[in-house]
């Protein structure tokens, strides 16, 4: 098998989730190489292992017959070109441009949501979510932007997913849907229904099931729990 995907712990690694869900849902075969989060200093097993294939020392990394691609957007673009028959981007040029725009926005934005609602599939933290929602205006603003974006795209393309059929955009927002569930953040019905549909995708369900099977508590990824 020529494709290898280096990822971190499924329970915590939102960046790893994106290409894994994309490839799995699209039926692109790959070998998974999971590198456990132990620490991020230069001497850690994680850093030394990942740095051997990616000079940045971060996951995810896609390796195609020895050629490494890192960064989720670069990986998605590479896969779209490598497997054009999978139609990973929308066919319409304007829809494709819009899909790239919202993926780039996800890639670089929503900092408050990322900071205050860390990815944690195994956890259920509605009480934390209530406090965050009350105290963090940035989180409320991020969720409002997500709601406006998703509603507009669903209305424009008729659903059930952002651009009708499954695309890179849905894979990019899958970790956000998980965060919204973990912290039980309030959503409008149409937005909640979209998040539920993403979480019901076979690839997302497979990722979640494997995350729950890890039973690996990584303290620095658990800002709200001690064990």
Query: 51 with 65, same domain?
Result: yes
We report the CATH number of the domain holding residue 79 as: 3.40.30.10
> Given this model, what pLDDT does residue 179 score?
98
Cα separations (Å) of 3 from 55, 130, 133, 194? 19, 42, 41, 30
Same domain as 129, residue 184: yes
Overall domain count for the chain: 2
Opening angle at CA 119, ends 21 and 90, nearest 5: 35
Decide: residue 175, CB within 10 A, 0-12 exposed, 13-18 middle, 19+ buried: buried
182's CB contacts (< 8 A; 6+ apart) are 117, 119, 120, 121, 123, 124, 125, 129
Q: How many CB atoms lie within 10 A of CB 178?
A: 24
Mean pLDDT by 10 residues, the chain (227 residues): 92 97 98 91 90 95 97 98 98 98 96 97 97 98 98 97 98 98 97 98 98 87 75
User: 166: domain range?
Assistant: 93-208
158: CATH: 1.20.1050.10
DSSP state of 33: E
Q: Does residue 202 share a domain with residue 130?
A: yes
Both 130 and 170 in a single domain? Answer: yes
- Position 227 scores a pLDDT of 65
State whether 140 and 169 are in the same domain: yes
Q: What is the pTM of this model?
A: 0.95
State whether 122 and 147 are in the same domain.
yes
Residue indicated by tokens 């549909």: 197
Domain identity same for 216 and 182 = no
């Amino acid at each position: 098998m020529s494709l290898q995907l280096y990822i971190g712990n499924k329970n915590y690694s939102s960046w790893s989730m994106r290409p894994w869900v994309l490839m799995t849902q699209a039926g692109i075969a790959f070998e998974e190489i999971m590198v456990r989060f132990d620490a991020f200093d230069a001497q850690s097993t994680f850093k030394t292992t990942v740095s051997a294939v990616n000079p940045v020392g971060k996951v995810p990394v896609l390796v195609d017959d020895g050629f490494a691609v890192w960064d989720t957007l670069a990986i998605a673009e590479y896969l779209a070109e490598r497997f054009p028959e999978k139609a990973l981007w929308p066919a319409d040029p304007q829809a494709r441009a819009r899909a790239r725009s919202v993926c780039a926005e996800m890639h670089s934005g929503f900092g408050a949501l990322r900071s205050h609602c860390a990815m944690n599939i195994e956890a259920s933290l509605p009480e934390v979510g209530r406090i965050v929602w009350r105290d963090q205006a940035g989180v409320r603003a991020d969720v409002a932007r997500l709601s406006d974006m998703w509603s507009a795209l669903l209305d424009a393309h008729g659903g059930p997913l952002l651009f009708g059929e499954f695309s890179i955009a849905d894979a990019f927002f899958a970790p956000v849907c998980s965060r919204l569930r973990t912290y039980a953040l309030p959503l409008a019905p149409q937005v909640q229904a979209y998040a539920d549909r993403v979480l019901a995708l076979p690839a997302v369900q497979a990722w979640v099931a494997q995350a729950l099977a890890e039973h690996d508590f990584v303290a620095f990824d658990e800002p709200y729990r001690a064990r």
